[in-house]
Homo-oligomer: A and B are copies of this chain.
Amino acid sequence: MIEAMQAAPEWQVTRWFNTPAPITLASLRGRVVVVEAFQMLCPGCVSHGLPQAQRVRQAFPAEAVAVIGLHTVFEHHEAMTPVALEAFLHEYRIGFPVGVDMPSADGPIPRTMRVYGLRGTPTLLLIDRRGRLRHHHFGQVEDLALGAQIAMLMGEQQA
């Protein structure tokens, strides 16, 4: 697992949805980045993680906080294909950019998920304005605590 305060590694994505061009983590420097790692057939992602990510997107200005979905498929690969994801994002009205985590050559866990040491889905990562991983929430995190963490990162100097 990536330790807090370490520079967060760049994500590895094979395809993007809801964005005209690929997005790099580096390009978001200066903004707090909220990464929602999910699988479209994960019930906790559908009922909790993704709605929370949508609330974050509504609650904070886009120029200060970027919300990025990461489709980290580590099971049922044949079911959660990009074409299925596209239908899912449409039906669930997910409007923020979503990248498909790149499959690994040698196992079910995709590359970004592996590099970040994610334990499962949903996982919410908070990356600060300088590009460092600061919080890693596996499972559920409450809105009050999350709002506080985001605000604290927003208040930090960029460099």
Contact = CB atoms under 8 A, between A and B. Distances in A.
Interface string A80-109: 110110111011100000000000000000
State the oligomeric state as a number of copies.
4
Interface string A14-35: 0000000000000000000000
Interface in A137-159: 142-152, 154-155
Contacts of A55: 142, 144
Nearest to A152: B151
B59 A142 contact: yes
A116 to B, nearest CB: 22
A42 interface: yes
Decide if the interface of chain A is mainly helix, strand, loop or mixed: helix
Nearest to A153: B151
A149 B92 CA distance: 29
Nearest to A82: B79
Nearest to A147: B147
A88 B88 CA distance: 13
Given A55-B144, A76-B84, 7 more contacts: A41-B91, A78-B83, A144-B146, A144-B147, A148-B154, A151-B152, A151-B155
Closest 10 CB pairs of A and B: A147-B147, A143-B143, A148-B151, A76-B87, A79-B87, A79-B84, A151-B151, A144-B147, A147-B148, A59-B144
